Chains A and B, each alone.
Chain A
Amino acid sequence: AQKVTQAQTEISVVEKEDVTLDCVYETRDTTYYLFWYKQPPSGELVFLIRRNSFDEQNEISGRYSWNFQKSTSSFNFTITASQVVDSAVYFCALSRANDYKLSFGAGTTVTVRA
């Protein structure tokens, strides 16, 4: 069985602070895919990044960066110099090879205060 755990329920920061969201996953598969989605107050989920289990290269994209570590089964996400527009619920998700179902974590609500 697959499981995704986002231990942080809510994070509140002041604008320009950095925010790191934790994601820990469980799977017995050797091939799997990890995703981060953002859900702003409007409700739709917006895809942010995908990683496959063979690609542990970490990435920086603008103010966003991701840290994927297979050894600890973690796929953490950092927002640098947060802005009010970053306020949203962030979901980590996992899918396995040959299976189109996504297993979602419970989400982390990020509130950025001006």
Chain B
Amino acid sequence: DGGITQSPKYLFRKEGQNVTLSCEQNLNHDAMYWYRQDPGQGLRLIYYSQIVNDFQKGDIAEGYSVSREKKESFPLTVTSAQKNPTAFYLCASSIFGAEDQPQHFGDGTRLSIL
């Protein structure tokens, strides 16, 4: 079955530590996205990538970094500069050049501070 796999499901971060969230898709989608979800605030875009080796900042990129070395993979690193990392993180993908097409989402990673 095609889909998006996020891992781990739960992640704990110590102060000053960088952590990396994994996102893999086998939908052959060109575009991939990272969102952060906080209670009562909906989803906010962190970073997105339309093609391999290219990515753009979203609305709340500070304290986060990404890479896109492979079409299938779009890992997100939450750096120590992100002072309030506790949230639910969702990865999504979509067909490139089709902004009218829905984004497909993974099951999410819940990040907490130890």
Contact = CB atoms under 8 A, between A and B. Distances in A.
A39 B110 CA distance: 15
A104 B99 contact: no
B43 to A, nearest CB: 4
A42 interface: yes
Interface string A81-95: 000000000010001
B80 interface: no
A64 interface: no
A91 B105 CA distance: 13
B42 A107 contact: yes
B102 A100 contact: no
A35 B40 contact: no
Given A43-B88, A98-B99, A104 B104 contact: no
A35 B107 contact: no
Contact of A9 (B33, B40, B101, B104): B40
Interface string B78-114: 0000000000101010100001111111111010000
Interface of A: 4, 9, 33, 35, 37, 42-47, 50, 52, 91, 95-102, 104-107
17 contacts: A9-B40, A35-B102, A43-B90, A45-B90, A45-B92, A45-B105, A50-B100, A50-B102, A91-B43, A97-B99, A100-B48, A100-B50, A101-B48, A102-B33, A102-B103, A104-B43, A106-B42
Interface of B: 31, 33, 40-45, 48, 50, 58, 88, 90, 92, 94, 99-108, 110
